[in-house]
Amino acid sequence: MLPVFRGQNRCSLLQQKCSVADLRIGMYVASLDRPWLETPFLFQGFKISSEEELQQVRDICRYVFVDAELSSVPVPVGKAAQSYVHPSPVRDLAEFRSAIDRAAQVRARSRDYLKNVFSDVRLGRSVDTDEARDVVSGLVESISADANAAIWLTQLKNKDEYTSLHCLNVCVLTLAFCRHLGYGEQDLQAIGLGALLHDIGKTRTPLEILNKPGRLTPDEFKIMQRHPEDGYRIMKAAGSVPEESLHIIRHHHERVSGDGYPSRLPEYELNDPLMAASIADVYDAISSDRVYHKALPTDVALRVMYEDAEHTFGKRLMEEFIRCVGIYPVGSLVELGSGALGVVVDAGTDTRLLPKIMLVRDYDGAVRETAAMVDLAARSRGGSAEDWTIRRVVSPSDVGLNPHKLLLGASPVEAIIP
């Protein structure tokens, strides 16, 4: 089997379409001609290093896109792009904006609750579990109505509100993931309560340790490791908290290798809801700016987590999480085969390599005055299929567009980075 996650999924202007007959050892394969989930791989990006790898690519594909800059041998010049058909909207943009607005209202209420409950617990007050359940009910309802809108909102980060926003994001991601896994509403209520308050024990952690910009000392790390047990005791004392919720709060730092904390539980004691919350916790943490690290792009965060999944969350569950949030997570800025640019707004379930996007830049590089909603799966079945496939995820700073402004209602022109 070819390697997974070699190299970096990066933006390059030197990618060329290449027939598999023209492939050579040393060429860097950046994209395939088909969904990655129909192949042995989850993500793009590897340099062909053997005849076996070369033959496997030829057995699977008719053509690929090769990155000349990352290749160690010459790459033939690719064919010119086929004629580009200007898109028309396939989903009412107002409908999507409305879904975002509804999800944002639920998010605002949940964020305010979390800020208040963390403040109250620091002052020695108990947690109002009835209000917490109401918050979770609202989030379950929001995710059931439009999970993509709720997930996109998790990308709005604020370092000054990290703790409350992190707990909220973890809850949203955990609920969306467990719903994807088939859990019903009653289970989601208990799972969501645990995810929402998974870090409540950090109210007992000194702020100078929580906000320390450098590496923690061994003694400081031991203090930090107390927060799952502290959280468990806080919520146990609150009363009427389901065991599943308490299990998530107490054990969200356990790992399948047995190297987690606080109890170093064996893998057979780590159920799917617990590990779903653990995955969401790490995913949001490493894709957020903190005082001690720069955020990873979401696609890179998924790659990093997948590489280590055998020791952390297990390959099976990590692959399911990727299927849930998408190879290209909602909010990703992507470049199409035509050169057009869009923001993923619906990761899809059956066509994860061909999601729905909000088109913000045309094939000629012109930023659109008005965004258009485009279903890549439907478009790719047309005559210019290559125009409507995703070639790569791009950094907003590289193309001068801020997708978060689009999320807040700005037009593509208004989202241009000065």
Per DSSP bridges, beta strands 390-393 and 333-336 are antiparallel
Q: Which of these, 46, 91, 37, lies nearest to 67 by C-alpha position?
A: 46
Query: What pLDDT does residue 409 have?
Result: 77
Separation between Cα atoms, residue 373 and residue 151, nearest integer Å: 18
Q: 270-274 long-range contacts, Cβ below 8 Å, gap at least 24?
A: 271/247, 272/178, 272/181, 272/317, 273/174, 273/178, 273/183, 273/187, 273/191, 273/194, 273/244, 273/247, 273/248, 274/247, 274/248
Query: What pLDDT does residue 399 have?
Result: 86
Q: Which residues of the chain have pLDDT under 50?
A: 1-13, 79-91
pLDDT in tens, 241-266: 999 999 999 999 999 999 999 999 99
53 three-class SS: helix
Q: CB count, 10 Å around CB of 238? A: 16
Write the DSSP assignment of 255-279 as a string of letters.
-TTS--SSS---GGG--HHHHHHHH
Given strand 367-375, what is the order of strands in its sheet?
A: 367-375, 356-361, 341-346, 333-336, 390-393
Query: What pLDDT does residue 329 have?
Result: 85
Query: What pLDDT does residue 69 have?
Result: 75
Separation between Cα atoms, residue 181 and residue 277, nearest integer Å: 13
Query: What pLDDT does residue 37 have?
Result: 56
Separation between Cα atoms, residue 368 and residue 73, nearest integer Å: 38
Query: What pLDDT does residue 276 have?
Result: 97
Query: What pLDDT does residue 5 have?
Result: 31
pLDDT in tens, 201-218: 999 999 999 888 888 999
Separation between Cα atoms, residue 100 and residue 113, nearest integer Å: 20
Separation between Cα atoms, residue 70 and residue 180, nearest integer Å: 36
Domains along the chain with CATH numbers: 1-80 (no CATH), 95-325 (1.10.3210.10), 333-407 (no CATH)
Separation between Cα atoms, residue 386 and residue 363, nearest integer Å: 12
- Burial (CB < 10 A; 0-12, 13-18, 19+), residue 329, is buried
Write the DSSP assignment of 20-36 as a string of letters.
GGG--TT-EEEEESS-G
Query: What pLDDT does residue 89 have?
Result: 42
Amino acid code (one letter) for 360? V
Tokens at 191, concatenated: 């799972």
